[in-house]
């Protein structure tokens, strides 16, 4: 078992609502956790450290011990000016799970582990996975081809299997998870949990604008473009937004954390956007995914038994 049985008992689905800049706010996270899905959010989505403190306090107050856990996402890149202050707040609030991104988790591992907090790290290549494993992470979020926002380019079938050969911790499959059947497929492949982002952008609790959510409903995977010109890292974004943006292109590899916080209205989307057909509330979305997951499980059992 690579994920704590105690944590799994709190989940209605083996699923994380992915952290998304400008999208994942306190309402979305609370709704996800109340309905049995891990709720994640970038700490920089809170406008200030004091606001992050308030968000964490509200989440603690409104979510009982049986709710799915929150999983704040901490950008560990050196350009994150709030890194130390945000880390202090996460530790002070006793957060049980953190997801690190854009850089090595090594500098924050001791603080989080000393506080009893598990650390999952975003990785986009096998080499990044190996470095994170060496740093002592508890889990890996594999950013595969087709994931929304900052992404990787590895085939998910190959990536999950390659990482499972070298890692017995938790594996989270990210990229192209559009419905409950895809969640089950990720588990069959060898992942413990799946990451779903694009579907949660198009919910009523999302911080995304109505224009952005409507664009997701009318888009398909053919409308998603991979580019490094916005953040300096490869990212999947809606072509409709890219074609109308006014900012100057960024050189590949020239990442700065402040570009994310200064552009919270960018329209990211993964290939799973083909599965976005309406704008439900989070509870309705999770119930729908749960039904799809259960049906896929039943069909799989029946097929294997025949």
Q: What is the DSSP letter of 281?
A: -
Q: Where are the domains of the chain?
A: 5-209+276-305, 216-262
pLDDT value for 1: 44
- Compute the distance between CA of residue 21 and CA of residue 207 in angstroms, rounded to an integer: 9
Higher pLDDT, 212 or 262: 212
Model confidence, pTM: 0.91
Strands 193-196, 224-227: pairing is unpaired
Residue pair 227/234 in contact (Cβ under 8 Å)? The answer is yes
- For the segment 248-274, the average pLDDT, to the nearest whole number, is 68
Mean pLDDT of the chain: 90
Task: Answer whether residue 231 shows pLDDT above 90.
Answer: no
pLDDT in tens, 123-132: 999 999 999 9
Reported as a pLDDT band with limits 50, 70 and 90, residue 242 is confident
Higher pLDDT, 161 or 266: 161
Reported as a pLDDT band with limits 50, 70 and 90, residue 248 is low
Select from 120, 110, 94, 150 the least CA-distant residue to 266. 150
CATH topology of domain 5-209+276-305: TIM Barrel (3.20.20)
pLDDT value for 84: 94
pLDDT in tens, 17-56: 999 999 999 999 999 999 999 999 999 999 999 999 999 9
Q: Cβ atoms within 10 A of the Cβ of 249, count?
A: 11
Task: Answer whether residue 295 shows pLDDT above 90.
Answer: yes
């Amino acid at each position: 078992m690579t994920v704590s049985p105690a944590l799994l008992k709190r989940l209605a689905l083996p699923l994380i609502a992915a952290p998304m800049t400008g999208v994942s706010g306190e309402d979305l996270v609370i709704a996800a956790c109340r309905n049995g899905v891990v709720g994640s959010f970038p700490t920089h989505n809170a406008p200030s450290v004091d606001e992050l403190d308030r968000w964490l306090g509200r989440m603690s107050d409104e979510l009982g011990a049986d709710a799915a856990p929150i999983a704040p996402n901490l950008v560990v890149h050196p350009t994150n000016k709030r890194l130390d202050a945000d880390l202090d707040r996460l530790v002070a609030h006793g957060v049980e799970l953190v997801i690190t991104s854009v850089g090595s988790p090594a500098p924050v591992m001791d603080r989080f582990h000393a506080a009893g907090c598990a650390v999952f790290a975003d990785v986009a290549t096998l080499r990044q996975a190996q470095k994170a494993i060496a740093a002592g992470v508890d889990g890996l979020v594999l950013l595969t081809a087709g994931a929304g926002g900052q992404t990787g380019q590895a085939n998910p079938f190959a990536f999950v299997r390659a990482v499972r050969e070298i890692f017995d911790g938790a594996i989270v499959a990210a990229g192209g998870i559009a419905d409950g059947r895809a969640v089950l497929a990720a588990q069959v492949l060898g992942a413990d949990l799946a990451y779903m982002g694009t579907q949660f952008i198009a919910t009523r609790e999302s911080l995304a604008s109505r224009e952005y959510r409507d664009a997701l409903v009318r888009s398909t995977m053919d409308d998603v473009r991979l580019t490094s010109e916005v953040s300096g890292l490869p990212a999947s974004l809606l072509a409709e937004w890219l074609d109308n943006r006014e900012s100057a292109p960024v050189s590949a590899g020239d990442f700065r954390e402040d570009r994310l916080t200064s552009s919270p209205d960018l329209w990211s989307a993964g290939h799973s956007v083909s599965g976005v057909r309406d704008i439900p509330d989070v509870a309705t979305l999770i119930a729908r995914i749960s039904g799809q997951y259960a049906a896929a499980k039943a069909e799989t059992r029946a097929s294997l038994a025949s």
